[in-house]
Each structure stands twice: as C-alpha cells, then as structure tokens.
Chain A
Amino acid sequence: MHDLAGDKGNLTNMILRNSPNFDNTPRALKSNPITKSRRISFTTVSAGQQEGSTESTNAPSRRINPTPVSGKPFRRQTNAFIEQESTENKESSPGGDSSHLEEERELLRREKAKRLQSKAENKSEGLEFLSCNTPTKLLDRSVSTVDIVVADIAEVTHRIELDKLVHLYSACLSENLFPNLTMELYFLMQLLTSRSIDMELIAVCGEDVLENNFFSTVHNAVYFAVSVMTQQKRLLQCLDKGTLRLLSENTRITQFSPDLSSWLSDILDSKNQQVGPVYPKSPIGSVSFQAETDNRKNFPDDRTFHLFKRQRDGFYEILRLWERQHMTPGWSVSEALGDRIRALVSAKTELSNHLHFARLFQSQLIAMCKGDSSVMVETGDENIALLNQLKRSNPEKFKKLQERFFKPLSFGGPCPVPAFPGCQEFFHDFIIAASSTIFNQHLSDTFASKILEHLPYLDLVECIKEALTLSRLTLTVPWVVEFLSMMDVVAPKIDHFQLTLYLLLAIHRACWRDLDRGSYGYLLIVTMISWLLDAISVIPEGFFFVEIPVHVFEIVSSVKQKSTTHLDSIGFVDQSVYYSCCPYLLELRTLLTEFAVGSSSKTSTIRKITPISAEDTSVHKPSDVQIQLQLEENFFHNHPASLRRCVDFVAERTASNFIKKFRTSSLQTLLTQSREALNTHLMSQAGGSPSGKAKGLNLSAGVVSEGLIDPPYGACSRLSVKDKLQHDILKIAQDHVAQAKAVVAKDVGSYCEGRIKALVLLLLPDEQSESVKQTATEISTRLSQEKVHSWINKHITVQMFQSELSLELDRILKSQLLNQTRSVSGPAEISVSGNPVESGFEVIAKEHDDSTRFPSDVLIDIKDMVKLVILKNVSPEKIAVKNLLVETKTILEKRQDWLPGIFRSFGQLILDLCLSLMCYFPEDWTVEDLDEFEVLWTGSLKSAIPFSSAVNSYTLKLLEDSPKPKFAWMNFEELLLMFLRLSLLSTSDLQQSCLNVLSGTQDYVENLAVCLCHIVEKLETDPDHCTDGCELGDVLEWIYQVCGAEAQVSHLILQTLKLDSPPGHESGGPVTDHSPIRLDPRSDSSSETDKVHGKDRPSNSESNLVECLHKNKKLCSEMNKCSNNCCERMDGIHVKLDGLSVSMQDLDVSVPK
C-alpha cells in the first residue's frame, strides 16, 4: 500500500485513474456537438480488448481529470478543507489556505493539459495493464437485461484507503472544487449502479503504475459511492421524490448503509411530491387579435392588412404542420416547409408586415414556450413502479417496452449542450429556414425591447448588477445563462462577455457558500452556471479554475442591496422550478431506474446550436431641449419615478379613451354628414327632383338632363363626371375636417381635465402636496391633449374624408349604372310599385317567443303546400291552410329572428298559395275562404309583397289552365277587387301591371279585359269605393285597340267605359272623362317622336301615357338597328318624362297583329 498521505498527487491520480469513472478514452472535445451520456466507460476483461475500443470516439467523458498535487501532506489538506467548510470562504482574500487552493487549481489545469496530450499514449499503454481493467459493461448490455452483480459489503477491500478517499472526495465536493456539481452527482450514481459479471475487474492505469486498485470491484465502487452519499445528505435532499424513492429502494444502499437507506425513506416520506404546474401552459395557444393594434387602421393600406391576415393564418398552418410532423423520422422543417416559410416571411411585404409578423412570432414563441410540457419534467414516479411490476408479471412485454420507456427521460446526459427543446425547435428551425435578414433584424429588435422595453441591446453586466442589487439572481441568472449558452466563438473574447462570465463565476462561488439547506434558489444558480461553463464549447477550457479579477469581486462586493423584497431569499425557486430549469438532473434518475429495472439506455438527442453575434450598441440621440420641458424634467426628477409613470399612464389612457369615443360617435356623425352633403350636392346637380332620394341619386340621368354629358357617351363620361366632382368632394372633405377639429377642440379640454383630475387624485399618494397633484394633473392633461391632437392631425385628414367620399361616389355611380344597365337590358324590369320589401321590412315582435316555430320551418311547409297544389293537384284541407296562415301571423308577431329575404318569400309564396288554390280548386276556394289571407295581407305581411304582381303572365296562364277557367277568373276578379277595396292595390298600379303583362303576351287579353270591365263596373256601384280615381280606362282602351272594334270584348269595353263611339279617332272629342286617344297602336307615328323631347309637353296627363307608349313602340323597331345609341337617347327621354312611370319595358311591346 502506498503512502497516501505522502503524495497527494499520486493519491488523486490514483483515485481517479483507478475509479470506474476514469475515462481513458479520448476526452470528448468541447466542440463536439454531441454530448453523450457520460456513463462510465467500462471495458471488458477479455484479453487483447483494448480499453476504449468498446466505445467510439464519441464516448462519454467526464471533466474531472486526475490532478497531481505536490507538497502538502494529505492530512493537512483535509484539515484545510474542514476548516474552510466551517469558516467563510476566503478565496478572495490573501491567505495561506486560499492561495494554496489557487495553487491547486493551477496544478489541476496543468494536469488537465497534460492529460489531453497523453490520450494516445494511454490507449497503447492500456495493453500493458490488462490486469487493471475497470468494471465491465458488456457489449450486449445495451440491448438486453443483464443480471446485476450483487454488491456485497463483505467483499469490500482496502477499506481504510477507500475511507480516506471518501473523505477527500467529499471535502472537495463541499468546498466547491469541482466545476460541475451535477457531474459529480452523476458520477456517484454511476458508481452506485456499476455492474459487472466479472468479479475480477481491474482498472486501467495511466502512465502511473499502481499496485493496488481500490476500485477494482463493484463492491468497492458501491462502498465509495454510498459512503460519499452518507456525507452529502444535504445535496441528496435536494433531489426530487422520484430519484429519492429509487435511492431509498436501491438494494445496494440498503445493504451497504441501512442508516442512509432509512434516512432516505424518512426524507421521502416528509417530502411532498412537487408537481410542477409552475408555469401553467397558456390555454390560448395563439396570439390574441387586438383591434387596437391589429385592425385595418394599423396598416397603411388594404393590401398589407389582408396580406398580414394571410400571413397570420399561414404561420399557424405551418405551426400545425410542424406539430403534426416533427416527430416523423427524416422530416425536416427546412425541407418540408422551407419554401412556405420563405414565401410567408419575404413575400412582397412592407415594413408594417415585418413589424406585425415579428411581433406575432415573438408573442407566439413566448406563449408556447411558457409551460411547454415537452420540455417540462415528469416528476411522478408511478411509471417506475408500474415498470417494476410489469417486469415481474410479464418480462417479455417489459423487455419490449423498456427501450421506449426510457427514451423520453434522456436529456442528453448530465451536461447536455444547449438545445432548443420542445417547441423551441420550431421557432429555431423557422428562423433558420426563413433565412431573412430583415426578419431577423425585426425579431431581435422586438425581443430586445420585450426584455428591457428599451434599446440598445442587452447589457448583461447591468442586468446582473441590478439583480445583485435587488437580490433577484434566481430570476436573472437562469435567463442570462440560457442566453450566453448560445454564444458564438467570438463572444467570450469580447470584454463585455468576459466580464459577464467572471461575474457569473463570482456569483457561483458566492452562492455555493450560501447554499442553504433545502433552498433551491442558490442551488439553481450554481447548477446552471456550472452547466454553462462545462457544456458550452466556446467558453475556454478550465474557466472554472481561473482567478477572478479583483475588479470583478469589487463589483460584486460593492453592491448595496436595496431594502426591497429579496426574491432570492423567499423561496421563490422550488424543486419543480429547479428541475424544469435543469432537466438534465433527471439523468440521475435515469441511471437509478435503469439499475432498478436492470436495463441501460443508449439514447441521446442531437441538438443544434446557433451562435449569436455580438451586436454594436447604438447611440441615443438627445432630444430637443426647451426650458419648460427642462422644468418638467426636473419636476419629475425630484419626485419618485412612480409619479411620472402615473402621469404618463393616465394621459395615455385618457387620450386613448377620448379617441375611441370620438371615433365611435362624433366621427361617425361627421362621416354620415359628409356623405349626406355629397348626396345633397349631387341632387342639386341632378336638378333637385322632389321625388326623393332615389331619383336624386339618379346622377347620370341628372347630369344628362343638365346637358353635362353627351348622352351617347354617357357610360364613358362617368369618369369625367367624377373628375369634375373631385373638387367638390375636396371642399366637402375640408369642411368636415375643420368641423371634426372644432368638435375635438371643443370637447377634449373638458373631457381630459375632468377625468385626469379625478384619476390623479386617486392614484397619487395621499401625502403628496396639493401643488404636486395640481402640477401632475396639468402635465397629464396637457400630454393627453397633445396625444389626442397628434392623433387627430395624423388620422382625421382631408384625404381620409376624400377617400370615404370617393367610395360613396363610386357606390352611387355603381348603383346608378346598375339601374341603367337593368333598365336597358331588362325590358320588364321596373315593377310598378318599386321595391317596397327592402325598405318596408322590420321586425315587429317586441318580445321573442321561443315556443313558436322557426320562420324557415313554417315557410318550408307553405312551400310544400304550394308544391302539392300545383304539381300533385292535391287540395289541402282548409284547416291546414288556415293553421299555416295563423302560424305565420303568430311568428311574425312573436319572433325576432326575421330576415328580409325570408319575409319576402313568405309574401310571394302565400300569394302563390292563394292564387293556385283559386285556380286549381276554384269552387272550393273563393274569396269567401280568404279570411286568414286577408288578415295577413292587411296586417303584418302587408309590406312583403307588391299586390299588383298578382297580375302576371304565369298567373294568367294558371287561370287559363284551370279545370274551371270561368270560376277561376271570377275568383281572380274578386281577389283583385278585394285588394282594391282594402287599398292594397291602386287602380293605376293595377293598370300598370296589366300593361306590363300585355306587353309580354296578348294570349289572355280578352279574359283579362272582361275581368277588368267587371272590376270597373263593380267599383262604380260600390258605395264604399271612390270611383273618381279609377284609372283602368287606359288599359281597356288599349285592349280595345288591340282587339279591334269587332271583337266581342270591345263592346264590353265600350259599355264599361260608357263610350258612344270607339276610341282611337284623330278627331274624336272627349268621349270619356279621359283625354282622347289619338293614336292607333298600329299607325306609324315616328314623326311624333321628336315632340317627345319637347320640354313644353305636359308630362302628367293620362293621355300622354298612352301616346308615349306608342311612340316607344315605334322606337323599338329602330332600336334593333341603332342599338345602344338609341337606348341612351331613350334613357334620356325617360328621365324627361318625370312623373310617368313608363319604363323601357314598353319598348318591348310587340306590335299587335
């Protein structure tokens, strides 16, 4: 046995070399992106098998390397450790012990360098020491369950030496002499769970030959591990419940140290399972759309607005694809989605889109990564218990399952390289795939401003200093570490980052010193900084051991902690936070679980690192200085910062509220007024027809009549009209902008003043002096008014009104054009009484009755009934018809969910139902059976239907097709009479609709004439009906002309009209109370056409109706030749005939035979 005390260097060397942990394979280079699980590199005993040959070059490595320490006796060293443990850490102060430590560190460094050089030699030397192998890991162990060697305390050799090693190792651990705590714990677990089928394992030595290998057996290794653990209970205590349970159930611990085992059980019982919904996953999953920041007003134009709408949906579509696909082997973002991403990010986008998209990207990233369950740690250990059970009950199934079962638990070893776990990967890959410099710039801008809410770029040193001052290192260090872990190669060479790293190292030492029992805050800091220094390839090797410059310590020591709440000392970090920040700690558990189930895992994930570049900081421009502003600055300077925040906040909110109010009320009124002004202006241009808006808007016609446009070129001249109108619009716009500003000027003062006064009083501290309150109020009021005015000046512009008015003008012109097109193209277009449905519809129900049927349901029944009648010739029961009509009345009165469309359908189909019943079953359905119809027609359904439409071509056909046409016609006659008597229909409208029908067909002219004659007669004898207004004469006269004097019906017409002589003679005097008919429909009267243009012509006499009718007929024949020109002219003529509702349809009247 060697004199251990004599040569510490040898001892350390020996410990580590001989330990199963000693890794003789080439040390994994820091630049190696793959950090494999740092499992002990076990080798087999088989002769000729070289150590290291079982593991490839990416074999796991440990940072701890043997360090020969010269000079001081072991005992004293140990004492020094113990002393130091009990006293303050004196590293910063000069002193024997601490300088000695530095010396040791230097030695460690040298040794490390040496070791790196001698790797190759080690390999070859290994052959010479075949008797010196480490515990063996069988080659096939990775895939199969292997019997685990039973460690036996009785078999432990070299107890004394081992105890010393335990003591030494434990002291190093306590004294923060190992760079990475996690690694040491992992090492201990590896020893604890070491396995071998060969009891004669011998460690491989380096260049130093040792006669004895204290770690040559599993028993010794376990003994060492258990002994160290016994001394490091305070560290064990911090482990999670799952790990502790595995430790407490570990058979080796039970065997080697029943005390430790029972202590573990006690701890386990006292420990509450910390389930970590620390950051509950955001339930939203997406970024909320906020009208204030996301609506159209936040974009320069429609194009960019709609582009962003597509960008947003496109982004989420990509995200969803990623979620679905990213676990698929061989799938990659850049390959599968690269083109889509690039198209999304760099499509013809403008500044606003980049801004919005970067913001969306950032918000989504934060929302998703916050509480990402895929990077969170599963702390429950039910699965392990389940697995154990399964192993017993169904070994085969267990074997299959175990591989899969452990995979998710692997975090890439106890010291993984920085990675983008979980959904972070998506954002990482997205940025890479997008490869857009503009996007990147916007992203970094928006992130920087998110973290500090100001530019320039992050000043990490300041952040750390502030964290020290405020005692919130536990909050700051984790993100600083995460941030630094992405450094590129150059960054650590920059002073700023060097200083940052030194600061972290100093913090590491300080926190180690203060590691309180059971507190996770400093433990978290220590663990994370250790990880950073250990895992990040760009940080210089051995940085942990360097001397921290004095000025760095000064920074730390000069910090004066503020007397606010100390986040670091209030237990803000608990175990679940600790584990979620350092998920690789679960590797310990993986080891133990593997041991427990006798398996080994062999997985590790590969993650990419993206370096960040060091950024230049930009310089702030000083703002303009004015004396008042200086005063104000000073005012705020001498008051707490909260005062300014309060003033700004109140001003901002008040202004925003005023603007919102203005936008929804005054501005809408002004916009409406401006549109009305435009309409009024157009009406005055159109000659100010008194017949209401509809005609007033008849712009083109109006312009035509004013001779502004040459009629034949009406269509193409609309543009020039618009041009001419532009300056009028400009004037209207200017007027209204002025009005808007006046309104604001009038309202904003009192609005802001009143509110702000109250608010400031509420928000400022009570003890604040009155004058401060007063000043604050005034500043805030001024600020809010400034904000309002600047908003108004920016948004309430002449251009804005102009564009609104241009839209309005377009709308008017378009509707006008449409009317023109229709009237030209659609001969039968204008229905007599216009379209009362759209305007006449309103929901009449004051209350809603849910027990009634839906309108759609009732209408379907009515429609089915009409279908039954006209297609199946089935007569419905009267009660059924009645019920439907009554129900219609009910739902009209009791339901509020009516729409104009279905209301109109009700009108049409109920009239259809009535007419078809009277035609198909004329004897069953007479006017006496129409009570329910009448109720509806005179009541709530009145505006749903133009009653004149009862006279139409298909109804007349229906009447003719009736099994009893005579009865049907009588019914029809009665129906029309009923309409007339109920004033649902006027005789002039009736006459017009008859003319419309007859212009299309003369098939039923005689029956219609008879019907009309009867109506006239009956109306004349009807005491209740005023006959004066009967205006059916013209159509009858017209029919007379069409049918000829010889026709039977003509006699009836003469009779009815009480004419002595037939109408239609040029010289004929007034034969009725109507004006004489001077034109025979068949006569050629084209010579008269020109007269129609004359303005002197009376335009409202009934005789002219007929006359024009005929003129038009003549024009019709010309129309086919001259087409559009003629139409234009005709259109002009039409407009002239104000008061006459003669429409272009009359052009289509075919010349009677």
Chain B
Amino acid sequence: MKLSVYNTIIEIMHKHNSRDCLPLIVKEFPDFSISTIGSIYAQDYQKKMRKTHHIHYNPMKMEMYYEQYLEGVQNKERHILLKISNGIELSPALLARMILERYLSSTKYGGENPPRSYVTKLMKDNTLINDPMLASEIHECLVSDDHYGPHVDNIKQSIGHEHECKLNRILDSLNLAYIGEDQMRTRGFDKTPDVKLEVPFSVDGHVINWIESKASFGDEYSHRGYLKDQFWSYWNRFGPGMVIYWFGFIEELDTDREKGIILSDKFPENIVRMNPIMK
C-alpha cells in the first residue's frame, strides 16, 4: 500500500470515527481486504489511546469518571459506562477496568489500589464480580469493545498464532526445513524469529534465513519498533531474512531489502531453493 493511499484511508477513518466505515473503505479500495483495513483501524485507534492516555489516567479524572458512574447507577440509567466512554473517547474496556479498580479500591481496599492481578482476573471472568450492576456494565463494555479487553486480547493472540501456523504449514508443504521459536529458545538463542530456516532459500535475489510472521498491518510506528527490537536483531544473528505482514504494509517502508530485510504480504511464490549440485 502506498503511503498516500494509507494517508487517505486514515483520513476517511478519522472523518467517520467508527469501524462502521470499514466496509465503505473496502468498497473504495477494493485491492485491500477488510482485515487489512481493520488492522489499520485498530492500529490507529491504539495510537489515539496512547496519545490520550495521560489525559484519563490521572487520579482526579479517574475519580470523576467513577462519580459519573455512581450517579448513573443512582439514576437507574443503562449503558452507563458505554455512554461515558463514548463521551470521553476512551476505550470501553479501558474505562471498565478503571472503574472496576476504583470500585474495588473504595469498597474493599480502603482507598488503596487493588492488586493488578486481581483486577485482571475479574476482568477476565466477570462472573466473579459481585455487584450485578457493575458486572453487567463491565460485561457490556467488554463485549462491545473491538480493540481492548480480554476477548480482544485472546483474538489478537489467536490471529498471530493462526498466521504463524499458516506460515508453518506453507513451509511444511514446500518441504522447507526450519526450527521454530520454541526450539530456538530451548537451544538458548537470545533472539528468536518465528521461523529460522535450516536451509536458506532466496526471493528476488535476496537470501532468506529467517521469517517473521506479523499478523498485522505494517505501518510506520509498528515497523520502526519491530525493526529496532526484532528484525535488526535477527539480521545481526542470522543474516538477511523476510518479514511477512499478512495484512499488508506501507510500501515505502520496504527500504532495507538490499541490507537484508525484505517485506512481503504473503509467502512469496517465486522462491529459489538452494541446490548444492548445481554450482
């Protein structure tokens, strides 16, 4: 995806400010799948949450949101948390967690912060929340949030896993030997790509020693982070390799091909295998 197209898409998203625009965008840019557009939306949404994090996470604001919630309860309102979250543009699940923390703090911990692990547990299993009102409010938030919360975490984790499995199946079907992260960790590697090929192959004249599967869209922010924390480290240890952004990437980011990191949005079809006999 060209950067200009990406920027246009982001603009449309900002205009609509909701995932409802995704099908519209796919209609306008039929080259891209709904997953790609969805991934871009999710990244942009998370970017927004990161940028506005400091606004919400200060004690006064948090107390204010909790008061608003309690007021809503008093007035027998429905969808209180969703309304608040809509108003302050904070992810429902993040707000739910914040309110749960305030609730536990004021009802059970005498103003102290409850242990994080305990809050997480209740977020994962709402049936453990005693207060029916709060439980149902939180449940609602979690079901309606497309970007945060335990279910979304599980979905994200699963998407990553699904694509790693997909990559492994492709390699298996092509009879390309490799070792995976777990094996590498057992052997004591300090940095582990998803796949390290036992025998390298080449793509468009670039040698591939390792493959990293990324079940997300490669935008600038995430790619820069990955380069620093992962890709260059793999290169430093295993030489040139390939990153598959299954949901596409901004083409302009593919600048390190010559240096030994090539980007792709699928497993390439035109691979050249090593052939020791033909030299």
A1000 with B232, Cβ < 8 A, contacts A859-B151, A909-B151 known: no
Of the candidates A312, A822, A831, A859, the one whose C-beta lies within 8 Å of that of B118 is A822
Shortest distance between the CB of A843 and any CB in chain B (Å): 10
Would you call the interface of chain B mostly helix, strand, loop, or mixed? helix
Across-interface contacts of B144 in A (CB, < 8 A): 867, 871
Report the Cα distance A313→B233, complex, angstroms: 6
Are A954 and B236 touching (Cβ within 8 A)?
no
Stretch from A288-296, A327-335, A377-385 forming part of the interface with B: A288-296
Are A313 and B151 touching (Cβ within 8 A)?
no
B3 in the interface (beta carbon within 8 A):
no
A902 with B158, Cβ < 8 A, contacts A831-B125, A953-B131, A954-B127 known: yes
Are A316 and B154 touching (Cβ within 8 A)?
no
Are A856 and B114 touching (Cβ within 8 A)?
no
Are A954 and B259 touching (Cβ within 8 A)?
no
Shortest distance between the CB of A1114 and any CB in chain B (Å): 19
Q: Chain A residue with minimal CB distance to B151?
A: A905
A316 with B169, Cβ < 8 A, contacts A289-B190, A822-B118, A954-B127 known: no
Stretch from B24-32, B54-62, B134-142, B217-225 forming part of the interface with A: B134-142
Across-interface contacts of A1148 in B (CB, < 8 A): 130
Report the Cα distance A573→B129, complex, angstroms: 81
> Could you tell me which residues of chain A, from 939 to 967, have a CB within 8 Å of some CB in chain B?
949, 952-958, 961
Are B117 and A822 touching (Cβ within 8 A)?
yes
Q: Chain A residue with minimal CB distance to B168?
A: A897
Across-interface contacts of B207 in A (CB, < 8 A): 283-284
Are A309 and B118 touching (Cβ within 8 A)?
no
Are A860 and B155 touching (Cβ within 8 A)?
yes
Report the Cα distance A518→B271, complex, angstroms: 42
Report the Cα distance A295→B154, complex, angstroms: 32
Of the candidates A285, A291, A898, the one whose C-beta lies within 8 Å of that of B239 is A285
A297 in the interface (beta carbon within 8 A):
yes
A305 with B143, Cβ < 8 A, contacts A289-B238, A905-B151 known: no
Are A905 and B150 touching (Cβ within 8 A)?
yes
Across-interface contacts of B154 in A (CB, < 8 A): 859, 899, 901-902, 904-905
Shortest distance between the CB of A1042 and any CB in chain B (Å): 16
Are A828 and B128 touching (Cβ within 8 A)?
yes
Are A1000 and B155 touching (Cβ within 8 A)?
no
Report the Cα distance A952→B169, complex, angstroms: 42
Report the Cα distance A309→B190, complex, angstroms: 7
Shortest distance between the CB of A849 and any CB in chain B (Å): 11
Are B189 and A295 touching (Cβ within 8 A)?
yes
Stretch from B7-15, B43-51, B159-167 forming part of the interface with A: B159-167
Are A957 and B133 touching (Cβ within 8 A)?
yes
Shortest distance between the CB of B257 and any CB in chain A (Å): 13
Report the Cα distance A848→B161, complex, angstroms: 14
Report the Cα distance A296→B185, complex, angstroms: 10
Are A896 and B158 touching (Cβ within 8 A)?
no
Across-interface contacts of A828 in B (CB, < 8 A): 122, 128-130
Across-interface contacts of A288 in B (CB, < 8 A): 237-239
A863 in the interface (beta carbon within 8 A):
yes
Of the candidates B129, B153, B187, B239, the one whose C-beta lies within 8 Å of that of A953 is B129
A850 in the interface (beta carbon within 8 A):
yes
A517 in the interface (beta carbon within 8 A):
no
Across-interface contacts of A866 in B (CB, < 8 A): 143
Shortest distance between the CB of B169 and any CB in chain A (Å): 7
Contact mask A103-146 → B, CB, 8 Å, 1/0? 00000000000000000000000000000000000000000000
Across-interface contacts of B188 in A (CB, < 8 A): 291, 294-297
Are A1003 and B190 touching (Cβ within 8 A)?
no
Across-interface contacts of B159 in A (CB, < 8 A): 854, 856
Q: Chain A residue with minimal CB distance to B233?
A: A313
Shortest distance between the CB of A1025 and any CB in chain B (Å): 25
Residues of A in contact, count (CB < 8 Å): 69
Are B260 and A305 touching (Cβ within 8 A)?
no
Q: Chain B residue with minimal CB distance to A948?
A: B127
B248 in the interface (beta carbon within 8 A):
no
A676 in the interface (beta carbon within 8 A):
no
B132 in the interface (beta carbon within 8 A):
yes
Report the Cα distance A854→B164, complex, angstroms: 12
> Could you tell me which residues of chain A, from 892 to 914, have a CB within 8 Å of some CB in chain B?
896-899, 901-902, 904-905, 908-909, 912
Of the candidates A312, A320, A863, A956, the one whose C-beta lies within 8 Å of that of B151 is A863
Are B157 and A899 touching (Cβ within 8 A)?
yes
Across-interface contacts of B264 in A (CB, < 8 A): none
> Could you tell me which residues of chain B, from 97 to 150, have a CB within 8 Å of some CB in chain A?
108-109, 114-115, 117-118, 121-122, 125-133, 135-136, 138-140, 143-144, 150
Are B239 and A854 touching (Cβ within 8 A)?
no
A-B contact count (CB 8 A): 188
Report the Cα distance A957→B133, complex, angstroms: 7
A425 in the interface (beta carbon within 8 A):
no
Of the candidates B115, B136, B157, B162, the one whose C-beta lies within 8 Å of that of A825 is B115
Are A1001 and B189 touching (Cβ within 8 A)?
no
A949 with B127, Cβ < 8 A, contacts A289-B238, A899-B154 known: yes
A316 with B128, Cβ < 8 A, contacts A867-B144, A905-B154, A909-B151 known: no
A449 in the interface (beta carbon within 8 A):
no
Are A902 and B237 touching (Cβ within 8 A)?
no
A157 in the interface (beta carbon within 8 A):
no
Across-interface contacts of A295 in B (CB, < 8 A): 187-190
Are A856 and B155 touching (Cβ within 8 A)?
yes
B263 in the interface (beta carbon within 8 A):
no
Shortest distance between the CB of A1003 and any CB in chain B (Å): 6
> Could you tell me which residues of chain A, from 991 to 1024, have a CB within 8 Å of some CB in chain B?
997, 999-1001, 1003-1004
Report the Cα distance A286→B144, complex, angstroms: 47
A826 in the interface (beta carbon within 8 A):
yes
B6 in the interface (beta carbon within 8 A):
no
Of the candidates A309, A822, A902, the one whose C-beta lies within 8 Å of that of B121 is A822
Report the Cα distance A450→B122, complex, angstroms: 60
Are B155 and A283 touching (Cβ within 8 A)?
no
Report the Cα distance A848→B166, complex, angstroms: 10
Of the candidates B108, B115, B135, B143, the one whose C-beta lies within 8 Å of that of A912 is B143
A954 with B118, Cβ < 8 A, contacts A284-B240, A854-B162, A905-B155 known: no
Report the Cα distance A1109→B161, complex, angstroms: 45
Of the candidates A285, A863, A1003, the one whose C-beta lies within 8 Å of that of B132 is A1003
Are B237 and A312 touching (Cβ within 8 A)?
yes
A1001 with B125, Cβ < 8 A, contacts A291-B189, A309-B191 known: no
Are A871 and B79 touching (Cβ within 8 A)?
yes
Report the Cα distance A306→B131, complex, angstroms: 47
Across-interface contacts of B166 in A (CB, < 8 A): 850, 897
Of the candidates A313, A859, A871, A952, the one whose C-beta lies within 8 Å of that of B236 is A313
Report the Cα distance A826→B124, complex, angstroms: 14
Shortest distance between the CB of A269 and any CB in chain B (Å): 30
Across-interface contacts of B236 in A (CB, < 8 A): 286-287, 312-313, 315-316
> Could you tell me which residues of chain A, from 764 to 807, have a CB within 8 Å of some CB in chain B?
none
The chain A residues found within 8 Å of chain B, CB to CB, are 283-289, 291, 294-297, 305-306, 309, 312-313, 315-317, 320, 818, 821-822, 825-829, 831, 848, 850, 854-856, 859-860, 863, 866-867, 870-871, 896-899, 901-902, 904-905, 908-909, 912, 949, 952-958, 961, 997, 999-1001, 1003-1004, 1148
A sample of 26 inter-chain contacts (CB < 8 A) reads A286-B235, A294-B190, A305-B190, A306-B190, A312-B237, A313-B233, A313-B236, A320-B259, A826-B122, A827-B108, A829-B121, A859-B151, A860-B155, A897-B162, A897-B165, A902-B154, A902-B158, A905-B151, A949-B125, A953-B136, A954-B126, A957-B132, A958-B136, A999-B130, A1000-B129, A1001-B132
The chain B residues found within 8 Å of chain A, CB to CB, are 79, 82, 108-109, 114-115, 117-118, 121-122, 125-133, 135-136, 138-140, 143-144, 150-151, 153-159, 161-162, 164-166, 169, 187-191, 207, 209, 232-233, 235-240, 259-260
Q: A901-B153, A905-B155, A1004-B132 are in contact. List 13 more A-B contacts (CB 8 A).
A: A295-B187, A828-B130, A856-B155, A870-B140, A871-B82, A871-B140, A899-B154, A904-B154, A949-B125, A952-B126, A953-B136, A954-B136, A1003-B132
